[in-house]
Structure 1
Amino acid sequence: MKTRSVLAVVGVVALFGAGGWWLAQSEAPHKHQLEKRVNSEGKTYYTCSMHPQVRQDEPGSCPICGMKLTQRTEAPTGGMVTSGAEKKPLYWYDPMRPDQHFDKPGKSPFMDMELVPKYADESAGAASATVVEIDPRMAQNLGLRIAPAKTGTFWQRVDAVGSVALDERRIVTVESRAAGWIEKLDVRAEGDVVKQGQRLAALYSPELFAARQELKLAEASGDAALVKASQQRLRLLGGGAGASSQSGVFAPASGFVMELMAREGAQIAPGMPLMKLADLSQVWLLVEIPEVQAGWIKEGRSAEARLKSLPGKVFEGRVDYLYPQLDTMTRTLKARLVFDNAEGALRPGMFADVTLFGGAQRDVLLVPTEAVIRTGTRTVVMVAEGEGRYRPAHVEAGPERDGETVILSGLEAGQNVVVSGQFLIDSEASLLGAYQRMGAGSGMSEGMQSVEEMKDKPAMEGMSDMRQKSEMEPMSGTSMEKTP
């Protein structure tokens, strides 16, 4: 009986103690604490946009290209992920085709890889979205090099290949003014060189003999008017003084025989050409100037020519004429240059390396040509902002020569641009959507995609049919639809 009483007292005390503890807890402030929980099918990891096969549990740089790893969260196929810092994806995309957006996770219809989510905070802020970060040590390992944009003088010069041609203004035709026969031909073959005043042929002409006789009779008569008329007739026939029936044909200029159209003993008529002579003391060089550089060249500008057969020798000339019509097939403008050729080194038919000078553009902004990325839809350079930060800048490029390109707008003197390894940064900037924010078109990957679509159009059409079929008959798991 006594033992039962003790147990009852102990039970009452314990009951009151529990009640007091409960009251104390109910009066204390109530606190809620969120705990991030990720199930086995969905977890947070870090990956590279260029190399999605790289997956790490901690932030850092890609061991392949050195790009800063991006945080990603796998979407679980079942259950909910409870997290105080949970982010809602804007869309999913294929890293190899970032322009294609999907509203649900799953497999890429282009590549056998999982789609990657795109979060709102990854695209917040245009300035931060256009900057690509690379660890300086990794940049050094990748061989990234930079060079400053500088102000200087750009010499407008066109380098082309020209062909030596005859100066058509120095071609003469030798003819006979009187009818007759060629009694002696002093020049026997084409290509023979002649000097000015040299006799080329001796003609027998009865008409000349008669004209000389008339002059002799006129002089004997003492009639001044008749003498003058006889002299004029003899001069028109190309004859000289004397009573001989022969008359010589002489070279009007020095040169070589281009064509020989008569032979010894042949009968000739007035105005019949005997041969053609070409003077090589001055020659033409004909060159083709690209359309984009044609505006640099003006008539009277200086030019230089070099022959492979005479290394080290430079011939100086000038631009004589710019032809009015552009060649629509080659998009070039034909120019005619004039060169003195007293030594005869420039022979018709030769090829020469020609340089045409178009003047200088002073105080222009210059960058190394290798720093300029041209895709057909945009022209950009990668600006190095220091501390491993790189930003694409849309520029307007001008002419290029000797490894330097003129920048007309989009860059300032003193800014550093990447001249080696810039394509890695360009690809990363394209994946981050930097070019859409710059208003300069989509990125390099989109330009490459359009080329591939043109080249492999049947394959893409087949892939599109497969994708339509997958939308009509969804596979097991999640379905995918392209967002409008």
Structure 2
Amino acid sequence: MKRRLFLGLCLTPFLSPLARAEEKNATIYKYVCPMHPQIIRSHEGTCPICGMDLVKQAFEQQSNQLQISSHQTMNSKMKQGFAIRTTLVQKTTLWKYIPTFGKVVADESKVIHIHPRAAGWIDHLSVRNNGELVKRGQLLYKIYAPEIVSAQQDFLLAVQKSKLRPNRSDAVVEAMRSRLQFLGISSGTIKSLEKRQRPYNEIPIYAEQSGIVTNLIVQNGMYVEPKTELMSLQDLSSVWIEAQVLPLQQAWLAEGLSANITSTAYPDRRWEGDISYIYPVADAKTQATSVRIPLLNDDGVLKPNMLVDVEIFGGPKQNALAIPLEAVIDNGQQKRVVKSLGDGKFDVVEINTGMETSGIVEVLSGLQTGDEIVVSGQFLIDSESQIQANLRRLLQNDASDAQ
């Protein structure tokens, strides 16, 4: 009951001037819900949605304009009580600015996948866990593969025949050398093989680059084939930031725009980069477009899957008609503002908006330069306007039925 009384008193200042229309012959009374203006009854009762008492509302049939007369009710004290603040619509320069979020991902151009070049058995595995740091040239594992042993024997035989026939071309030797390289044997191992003059049973495999071990599935003694991915090496000296951009700001996205990246994990750090790629497919649920921002990560503090804050900057848009975002009433279907007409009167108008940045939104239609709009307290005024509009539609329907 306290809640009903409080809301009823809040609406009283707006309803009281309409009650004076009782002296006129063209006044019709209906009962409406203060919280749900679409609920209109011809008798007293309660709202079927929230249970509040319906409030008596007077409507003047001759009124053609959705204006709220506040000549007596919206005096200076009441404006202060309802926190009514206004501002002028003016042209300004809007800077294209997108505050959004992103995720750190590995630089795909610096990820290598390690497969054996021949079927065989793994031994002397030097990495045991995902996440281990591997240096370039470090031993990863040794493998015994019959095909590699046979290739070594063919190479040594070709070298021996080449020595017996000095005038013969070394094409066969080079072909055998290329075969060993194709099977994953390093140049250093091949040179050692020539000096050794007998094949290695287990061939050492070294890391081609530095990186973090991921997708490790192999253990000592396992039989593997060329189709088996043993592990991956991710070089995290550079990473990608994949940031999400919602449809409202997608129109002016372009490659080369600068961006600032921050992280709550390192509040004193800031990274700068440029958009290098805009993904061609939008997210099916959010309709957001992803952009890629490469960053140097020499100290390795940016780790894959880490969330970061992203600020994307573009050029200015000059002479844009703009208003504060807080002045806009958005119900998901249309956007409205409350315009002050002077002499304590207000009008609710529909607008179309454009670019939005830093709490300022561009107005494409519905307002003109110099218009005065309400930026605080506009929801109460808009609610009263909806009540009057619903009453007008109801009366028009009643008049049509009477005819």
Normalising to structure 1: TM-score of the pair?
A: 0.63
Aligned length in residues: 368
Q: Give 2:199's aligned residue.
A: 245
Question: What is the Cα-based RMSD across aligned positions, in Å?
Answer: 4.0
- The counterpart of 2:20, out of the listed 66, 72, 75, is 72
**d(CA) in 2 for partners of 1:180 and 1:394?**
73
Say whether the 8 Å CA contact 1:290–1:332 is kept in structure 2: yes
CA 1:182–1:95: 2 relative to 1, 3 Å: closer
Say whether the 8 Å CA contact 1:297–1:357 is kept in structure 2: no
Larger mean Cα displacement after TM superposition, 324-333 or 232-241: 324-333
Matched, 1:94 2:31: yes
Say whether the 8 Å CA contact 1:368–1:405 is kept in structure 2: yes
Matched, 1:145 2:85: yes
Say whether the 8 Å CA contact 2:133–2:212 is kept in structure 1: yes
Give the secondary-structure state (helix, strand or coil) at the position aligned to 1:235: helix
Larger mean Cα displacement after TM superposition, 356-365 or 302-311: 356-365
Q: Give 1:33's aligned residue.
A: none
Q: Give 2:50's aligned residue.
A: none
Q: Shift in Å at residue 310 of structure 1?
A: 0.7
Specify the code of the residue in structure 2 equivalent to 1:157.
Y
- The counterpart of 1:402, out of the listed 336, 353, 358, is 358
Give the secondary-structure state (helix, strand or coil) at the position aligned to 1:276: strand
Equivalent runs, 1:359-370 vs 2, <5 Å: 359-370=315-326
Equivalent runs, 1:79-478 vs 2, <5 Å: 87-89=24-26, 91-94=28-31, 96=33, 107-108=43-44, 118-119=59-60, 123=63, 126=65, 129=67, 132-133=70-71, 134-177=74-117, 184-203=124-143, 205-207=148-150, 208-225=152-169, 227-238=170-181, 239=185, 240-241=190-191, 242=194, 243-246=197-200, 247-264=203-220, 273-376=229-332, 378-433=334-389
Q: Shift in Å at residue 380 of structure 1?
A: 2.3
Say whether the 8 Å CA contact 2:158–2:176 is kept in structure 1: no
CA 1:188–1:435: 2 relative to 1, 3 Å: same
Normalising to structure 2: TM-score of the pair?
A: 0.74
Specify the code of the residue in structure 2 equivalent to 1:69.
P
Say whether the 8 Å CA contact 1:130–1:392 is kept in structure 2: no
Q: Shift in Å at residue 350 of structure 1?
A: 1.6
Say whether the 8 Å CA contact 1:155–1:359 is kept in structure 2: yes
**d(CA) in 1 for partners of 2:239 and 2:282?**
23
Q: Deviations over 1:419-474 (max 9, x none)?
A: 112223223444555997xxxxx7xxx9xxxxxxxxxxxxxxxxxxxxxxxxxxxx
Q: Shift in Å at residue 168 of structure 1?
A: 2.6
Query: Any stretches of 5+ residues in structure 1 without a counterpart?
Result: 1-50, 55-61, 75-85, 437-441, 447-480
Give the secondary-structure state (helix, strand or coil) at the position aligned to 2:267: coil
Say whether the 8 Å CA contact 2:102–2:241 is kept in structure 1: yes
Specify the code of the residue in structure 1 equivalent to 2:267.
P
Specify the code of the residue in structure 2 equivalent to 1:72.
R
Specify the code of the residue in structure 1 equivalent to 2:359.
G
**d(CA) in 2 for partners of 1:428 and 1:66?**
7
Say whether the 8 Å CA contact 1:281–1:344 is kept in structure 2: yes
Say whether the 8 Å CA contact 2:122–2:223 is kept in structure 1: yes
Considering only CA atoms, is the larger Rg found in Structure 1 or Structure 2? 1
Say whether the 8 Å CA contact 1:215–1:231 is kept in structure 2: no
Q: Which has the higher contact order (CA 8 A, sep 6+)?
A: 2
Specify the code of the residue in structure 2 equivalent to 1:147.
T
Larger mean Cα displacement after TM superposition, 333-342 or 92-101: 92-101
**d(CA) in 1 for partners of 2:11 and 2:58?**
22
Give the secondary-structure state (helix, strand or coil) at the position aligned to 1:72: helix
Larger mean Cα displacement after TM superposition, 331-340 or 366-375: 331-340
Q: Shift in Å at residue 162 of structure 1?
A: 2.4
Q: Give 1:460's aligned residue.
A: none
% same residue: 28
CA 1:192–1:412: 2 relative to 1, 3 Å: same
**d(CA) in 2 for partners of 1:114 and 1:182?**
84
Specify the code of the residue in structure 2 equivalent to 1:166.
A
**d(CA) in 1 for partners of 2:13 and 2:228?**
81
Query: Any stretches of 5+ residues in structure 2 without a counterpart?
Result: 1-5, 48-52
